[in-house]
Each structure stands twice: as structure tokens, then as C-alpha cells.
Amino acid sequence: MSQSPVMVNPLKEGLKIEQASEPCAMVVLGAHGDLTKRKLVPALFALHQQGLLPPGFCIVGMSRTKMSDDEFRQSMARSIQQFAPEIPFDQSTWERFAAFLYYLPSNFGKEEGLFDLAKLLKELEQRHGTRGNNIFYMATPPSLYGQIVDRLAESGLTQMHPGLKAPWPRIIVEKPFGRDLSSARELDLHIHNSFEEEQVYRIDHYLGKETVQNIMVLRFANGIFEPLWNRQHVDHVQITNAETIGVEGRGGYYEEAGNMRDMIQNHMLQLLSLVAMEPPISLDAEATRDEKTKVLKSMRPFDLKSLKKFAVRGQYGQGFIAGQPVPGYRQEESVSGESKTETFTALKLFIDNWRWADVPFYVRSGKRLGRAITEVAIHFKRAPHRLFSLDADDGGQALGPNALVLQIQPDEGICLKFATKQPGPTTQLRWLSMDFKYGTAFGVRSPSAYERLVHDCIQGDATLFARTDAVDASWSLISPILQEWAQTPCNQFPNYAAGSWGPAESDEMLLADGRAWRII
């Protein structure tokens, strides 16, 4: 395999040249699952096509399903063509990739299974030159994390030299990172018995999306935005994650998790921390994560006595999506007919620091909503003196505020909303939008989130991964709400129809402040 070329990290805007990655093996624990087929192997294949995998790299899939190396390779080839059609697939490129793809059928929850893995990794070290560097990707149910870490330690696979020198082990952990504050801390203690924090990569795929990565560049590489990015000029911030789909056969998981654990505690709070953070002293991973964690630690705790003013929960009932009837949540497979699980959450949050004092951050996330979209909208304050109205027939309506919208998905881009004069002999104003779309601006395929995040882990760059103190801070904020909701189940579920924009209480929360959710 040819030497991987030096790559300039777009997030670092050319200011720092990345070093070539060290050789290593990636072990995918739970390799027969959907995550591996839909996201992980397609991402690794795309990195291989771009020459971004290091020499001496190999992949070991591991699960209980019995199959040979060749059967596993054939299965992964079909998965790439089915789930990642945007990635060019040709047989010769695939055969070069498949040559370092292996499979070990084994029960990784049992001691002997990981000893078999240790033996295979030793053989691959000699065959491919991995130097004993291993990345363990936990593509398993979270309930198995602790057990697997114990088995890895018992088999000697977590040992390393002082100073993080080769051979090194790293572990990638998928969310959820616990179910609440106490379980998250327990999981961390378990992992830290075998891995140092520098070896732990808690993956949140939202942070690998192009627009999310671009938030720091937008703010800190442009002189026109950062001076306005504070309480003096920003009226409020809205962060929306809306899905048209239901639980898609994952009712059993969702009954245990709910929207707050599934989306708010991780994805949405991570987005918020990037939007609200202070400029880091450098682009070093720890400097960036320090600033994000400060935001989470500055979040104002909820007053549980008046929680309904700051937190809204909902559950979808029957309705229509794209003109087609869809069932309510309680009619979904593996969901209780009396379920009290929330499929929608809206929060009003405050950051008690110098930059954001008294600026509300409204966050909402839900399933079976009117449109599939994730965005961050920065709503600026209105012009201080009213000179114009929108048009001659608006009854004197005052000109509204400007908004800068960062669209995360499905069409990644940035939009700035501003007022301009409509051509003609009279002064009539209209809103216009200045749009930038990744798909049209650069004319190239945007890499998937997993491509970016897996590549960063291989390089040892933890910038886009959650650190233990950030996870602790987010659970400290969210756990009291979950406890309160568990003690006071909502008797009005379902309280919004599929295809709508959530329960009426969500709109009322903003209306009480004289604001409204952005029309999407």
C-alpha cells in the first residue's frame, strides 16, 4: 500500500499540517450490526480510496455470527453498495481494501474470546506491520461496554508504554454514555480502570458533519461575525433537530432511552457548546475541549418547581407524513400501549457567563415532525430605531430581526437573512437570504461524519470527541429533569400529531417570552 499523503485539516484552516498516521489495527466489536454495515466500513473504504489510511493498517471484525474472512468481505462489499451509493465502487479498489479486512467469530464477552483476538492481532502485527497499535471500536449495545473492557484488560490488550508511545491502545465508545449522571460516572470509572482519558474517544457523529466543523471557522476566521456573537447583539438562539421518521423498528431501545437521552444530552448540547464557546487559545484538542466544557459547566440548573416553563415533553400520535397516514408512537413495534416515553423535547436554557448572560437558547428535538432538518439559528436583536416596515400594506409591522442559520442536515450550508429594498419608485422592503450550500459551492462529495471522526481517531486527534468532564456536565444538567419526569409521568400523551411541529406547550414556551420558533 502506498504512503498516505499529508492532509490539511479543513477545521484547522491550513494553519497546522497534520502528521502522517501511525500504523494500527482497528477492531470492530459488533461487526455484524447495522452501524458497521451502514456507517463504519463505508467510511473506512472511502478513507482508503482517498489514501488517508496509514500503511500497515488493517481491520478485524468481531461478532458472534459464524463466517469466514471471505464471507465477511463479501458482506461488507454488499453493504457499501447498498448503504453508501455515493461512494464510487470498483472491484480493483475493493480488492486492495479487502486484503486487510479480517473476521473473528467469537463471543467477546467471554475471556477466551479476547485471548483469541490478542493472538490474531499479534499475527497481524507481523503480517501488516501494525506495531501493536490497536483501536477498539465498541459497535455493541452499551450494556456490554463494561464487560468488554474487562475482557480486553484480562487479555493484555489495554497495556501500553508510558507517555502514550507505541504500542498504544485506543477505544471508541458510541453514545449513549450512560443513562444518567450516576451510570455515566460508573461507566467512566470502569473504562478508566483500563484506559487513560487520552485513549478514550467518545464518538458523537453530529460533530463530524461539515457545517458543525465549520462553526469554529465561521466564528474565529471571519472578522464580521465574532464581534456580534454575544449578548449585546444576539437576542436568542434556536437549535432544532426534526425528524419525519418514527422509531423505525427500534421501539425497544427508544422505550429505554427517550428523546432526552437519545438526542438532547449528547448531540444538541454538543452543538450548543460549539456555538457558545469562547475562542480557544489554540487548535489543540484539549484547548478546544476546555472551552466547550466551560459552556456546559456554565449552564443554569433547572428550577424543578417551575420546570414546565423551561422544559416541554411530547409524544406523537397518529398523523400524516408526506400525505401518508402513519401510526402513533404507542402503535409502534415493541412500544407499550401505555408508554410515557417522550419522543419530543423542547428546552429553554441559559448560560451564566459574561458573553451570554440572559440570552435564551431554545433547543428542540423530535420524531414525526413536519420536516426532516437540523439547524442552528442565531437571531440577532432588532434595529434599535424603527424607520421601515416590510411593505406598504403590512399595517405598519416593524422590520423583524436578522438571522444567521447554520443548516446541519440534510443540505449542509449557511444562510444569512437580511432586509433589502425592493426595486421600484417606493420604499418597500423584502427579506432576502444569502445562501451557501456545500454541495454546490465546492462541487465535491462531502465526507460522511464517520469518515472525519474515524480518521481523527487514527491520527490521535480528539478535538471532535466528548471528554469525560463534558459528559459529566451535560448529565448534571439533564438528569434532574429525567428524575422529575419519571416521578410525574405525563398523562396527556400523545400530545402532538405526527406531521406537526410538536405539542402546543413548545410554542407557548417561546410565546411567553414574546418569541416564536423559526418557520422552517
Active site residues: 267
DSSP designation for 4: P
φ/ψ of 492, rounded to 5, equals -100, 0
Between CA 190 and CA 518 the distance in angstroms is 43
Among candidate residues 174, 180, 182, 179, the one with its CA nearest the CA of residue 200: 174
| Integer angstrom CA distances of residue 456 from 68, 200, 201, 411, 520 | 30, 13, 10, 24, 33
Task: Give 288: exposed, middle or buried? Use CB within 10 Å, 0-12, 13-18, 19+.
Answer: buried
Among candidate residues 298, 343, 217, the one with its CA nearest the CA of residue 469: 298
Question: How many helices (H) and strands (E) in the chain?
Answer: 15, 18
| C-alpha cell read off for 403 | 438571522
In the chain, the largest separation of any two C-alpha atoms, in whole Å, equals 83
Between CA 345 and CA 243 the distance in angstroms is 12
* Whether the Cβ atoms of residue 206 and residue 175 lie closer than 8 Å to each other: no
Among candidate residues 439, 419, 437, the one with its CA nearest the CA of residue 429: 419
Q: In whole angstroms, what separates CA 270 from the centre of its chain?
A: 7
Rounded to the nearest 5 degrees, what angle is found at the Cα of 43, between the Cα atoms of 40 and 48? 125
* Whether the Cβ atoms of residue 94 and residue 77 lie closer than 8 Å to each other: yes
Q: Looking at 328-467, list the stretches that DSSP marks H as alpha helix, in order from N- to C-terminal side.
A: 438-441, 449-459
Between CA 426 and CA 405 the distance in angstroms is 30
In 249-323, DSSP assigns E strands to 311-314, 316-317, 319-321
Residues 6+ apart with CB under 8 A from 305: none
